[in-house]
Amino acid sequence: MPTSWFGFPNPVNEVAARTVAAGVLILTIVTIGLSTAVGEGWLWLSVVLAYGFVARVLTGPRLSPLGQLATRVIAPRVGPAKLVAGPPKRFAQAMGATMSLTAVILHFGFGLDAAALVFLGLIAVAATLESVFAFCIGCTIFAGLMRMGLVPEATCAACANITLRQPQAA
């Protein structure tokens, strides 16, 4: 965990990150499902989704109820920690924050519910890939930005190869 309120852990337990992604997936599917089956009144749940992403970008799991559940309760019971670089995971959370805030603005600001649902669908795809297949779209984009020189190598030396997985020392 970071030593200050603001910051993001580095390294990150991939098991916890995948657990958070599973929670995001569930909340997104519930939001999309209720909004399409019952009515757009359920799109308010996208605010909860956006809060979680913004909280995780700013503070890691510290102010995120889903982050706390994943890191303190679920991940320790799922299996041994697999440590991965933190900056790409933070970038992925920022992508989720951008997409979920866009959905909130589209719904509440412009009444464009179909467009909001498209952004929620994109989040569901990314969360599925992360939680089920351990494929992080944000991490892959982050690595590409590093290769192009848009993210300085000093940001994350371990990020040059996002496929590195280290078991946690006992």
CA distances from 37 to 16, 30, 32 (A): 31, 10, 8
pLDDT per position as a tens digit, 91-128: 999 999 999 999 999 999 999 999 999 999 999 999 99
Q: What percent of the chain has pLDDT over 70?
A: 91
pLDDT above 50 (res 67): yes
Residue spans per domain, the chain = 12-167
Rounded to two decimals, the pTM is 0.89
DSSP run (H or E) holding 82: strand 82-84
Beta bridge partner(s), residue 167: 82
The residue with greater pLDDT, 141 or 168, is: 141
- Gyration radius of the chain's alpha carbons: 16
Please compute the mean of the pLDDT values over residues 129-144 and round it to a whole number. Answer: 96
* SS3 state at 168: coil
pLDDT at 39: 84
Mean pLDDT, the chain, rounded, equals: 90
